[in-house]
Amino acid sequence: MRKLDPKIPSGPLETKWDRHRFSEKLVSPNNKRKLTVIVVGTGLAGASAASTLGQLGYQVECFCFQDSPRRAHSIAAQGGINAAKNYQDDGDSVGRLFYDTIKGGDFRSREANVYRLAQVSTQIIDQCVALGIPFAREYGGQLANRSFGGVQVSRTFYCRGQTGQQLLLGAYSALCWQIERGQVTMHPRTEMLDLIVVDGQARGIVVRDLVTGRLSVHTAHAVVLATGGYSNVYYLSTNASGSNVTATYRVWKQGAVFANPCFTQIHPTAIPPGDASQAKLTLMSESLRNDGRLWVPKTMADRRSPGDIPEAERDYFLERRYPRFGNLAPRDLASRAVKAVCDEGRGVGSSGYGVYLDFAGVIEQQGFDVVRERYGNLFEMYHRITGEDAYHSPMRIYPAPHYTMGGLWVDYHLMSSIPGLFVIGEANFADHGANRLGASSLMQGLADGYFILPYTIGHYLATARLPSIPEDHAESRAALHRVTSKITRLLSAKGRRTAASFHREIGTLLWNHCGMSRDEAGLKKALTSIPTLREEFWKDVMVPGSGDDFNQELEYAGRVADYLEFAELLCHDALHRQESCGAHFREEYQTDDGEPKRDDTRFAHVAAWEYRDGAVPLLHKEPLTFEFVQPTMRSYQ
Partner 1 sequence: MKFTLKIWRQNGPAERGRLVTYEAQDVTPGMSFLEMLDGVNQRLIGNGEEPVAFEQDCREGICGSCSLVIDGIPHGPDRGITTCQLYMRRFPDGATITIEPWRAKAFPIIKDLVVDRSALDRIMQAGGYISVNTGGAVDGNVLLIGKDQAETAMDAASCIGCGACVAACKNASAALFVAAKVSHFAILPQGKPERTHRVSAMLEAMDREGFGSCGNQYECEAVCPKSISVRFIANLNREYLRAGIVEAGLPGEPESPHAESV
Q: Scanning residues 44 to 63, which ones bind partner 1 (CB under 8 A)? A: 48, 51-52, 55
Shortest CB 47 distance to partner 1, Å? 12
Question: What is the smallest separation between the CB atom of 189 and partner 1, expressed in angstroms?
Answer: 9
184/607 with CB nearer partner 1: 184
Total count of residues recorded for the chain:
637
Question: From edge to edge, which strands make up the β-sheet containing 201-209?
Answer: 190-198, 201-209, 215-219
Closer to partner 1 by Cβ: residue 141 or 470: 141
Site string for partner 1, 557-596 (x = CB under 8 A): ----------------------------------------
d(CA 416, CA 6): 10
What 3-state DSSP class applies to 450? helix
If binding is defined by CB under 8 A, does position 242 make contact with partner 1? yes
| Residue placing its CB nearer to partner 1 in the complex, 325 or 353 | 353
Separation CA 168–CA 69 (nearest Å): 9
Pairing mode, if any, of strands 395-404 and 355-358? antiparallel
Q: Is residue 334 within 8 Å of residue 289, measured between CB atoms?
A: yes
Q: Give the residue among 202, 102, 20, 1 at the shortest CA–CA distance from 430.
A: 102
CB of 232 to partner 1, least distance (A): 11
Strand partners, 267: 400
- Please identify which residue in 11, 274, 323, 376 interacts with partner 1, judged by CB under 8 A: 274
β-pair type (605-610, 618-623): antiparallel
Residue from 29, 91, 310, 387 in contact with partner 1 (CB under 8 A): 387
Give the one residue of 45, 114, 283, 395 binding partner 1; rule: CB under 8 A.
283
Q: Is 403 in the site for partner 1 (CB under 8 A)?
A: no
Under the binding rule (CB under 8 A), the answer on residue 139 touching partner 1 is yes
Contact assessment for residue 185 and residue 62, using Cβ atoms and an 8 Å cutoff:
yes
Range in contact with partner 1 (rule: CB under 8 A) among 123-131, 228-236, 298-306, 430-438: 123-131
Identify residues 284-323 at the interface with partner 1 (CB under 8 A): none
Contact positions with partner 1 (CB under 8 A) in 64-83: 66-71, 73, 75-76
Residue 85 binds partner 1, judged by CB under 8 A: yes
- Residue from 162, 254, 290, 484 in contact with partner 1 (CB under 8 A): 162
Q: Which of 305, 325, 323, 326 is nearest to 314 (CA)?
A: 305
To partner 1, the closest distance from the beta carbon of 125 in angstroms equals: 5
Segment interacting with partner 1 (CB under 8 A) among 1-9, 428-436, 520-528, 550-558? 550-558
Taking the complex as a whole, the smallest distance from the CB of residue 586 to partner 1 amounts, in Å, to 32
| Beta pairing class for 222-225 and 36-40 | parallel
Binder among 451, 502, 563, 609 for partner 1 (CB under 8 A): 451
Amino acid at 261: P
Smallest separation, CB 281 to partner 1 (Å)? 10
Q: Which of residues 4-43 bind partner 1 (CB under 8 A)?
A: none
**Is residue 128 part of the contact set for partner 1 (CB under 8 A)?**
yes
Query: Would you give the DSSP letter of residue 265?
Result: E
Q: Which stretch, 196-204, 530-538, 545-553, 578-586, contacts partner 1 (CB under 8 A)? A: 545-553
215 belongs to the binding site for partner 1 (CB under 8 A): no
377 lies in the site for partner 1, by CB under 8 A: no
Cα 161 from Cα 166, distance rounded (Å)? 10
- Taking CB under 8 A as the binding criterion, the range among 367-375, 449-457, 592-600, 623-631 that sits at the site for partner 1 is 449-457
Instruction: Provide the minimum distance between the beta carbon of 246 and partner 1 in the complex, in angstroms, as a whole number.
Output: 15
Sheet holding 407-408, edge to edge: 407-408, 258-259, 605-610, 618-623
The answer to whether 126 contacts partner 1 (rule: CB under 8 A) is yes
Beta bridge partners of 191: 208
Residue closer to partner 1 by CB (options 125, 206) is 125
Long-range contacts of 208-216 (CB under 8 A, 24+ apart): 208/483, 208/487, 210/65, 210/550, 210/555, 211/549, 211/550, 212/548, 212/549, 212/550, 213/546, 213/547, 213/548, 213/549, 213/550, 213/551, 215/480, 215/483, 215/484
Query: How many of the chain's residues bind partner 1 (CB under 8 A)?
Result: 83
In the list 1, 3, 10, 279, the residue contacting partner 1 (rule: CB under 8 A) is: 279
Binding status of residue 87 toward partner 1 by CB under 8 A: yes
- The answer to whether 498 contacts partner 1 (rule: CB under 8 A) is yes
Q: Which stretch binds partner 1 (CB under 8 A): 26-34, 195-203, 278-286, 605-613?
A: 278-286
Q: Applying CB under 8 A, does 127 fall inside the site for partner 1? A: yes
Torsion of CA 461, 467, 470, 475, to 10 degrees: -80
Largest CA distance in the chain: 75
Instruction: Name, in order, each residue with C-beta under 8 angstroms of 159's C-beta and a sequence gap of 6 or more.
Output: 133, 134, 135, 136, 165, 166, 167
Q: Assess 123 for contact with partner 1 (CB under 8 A).
A: yes
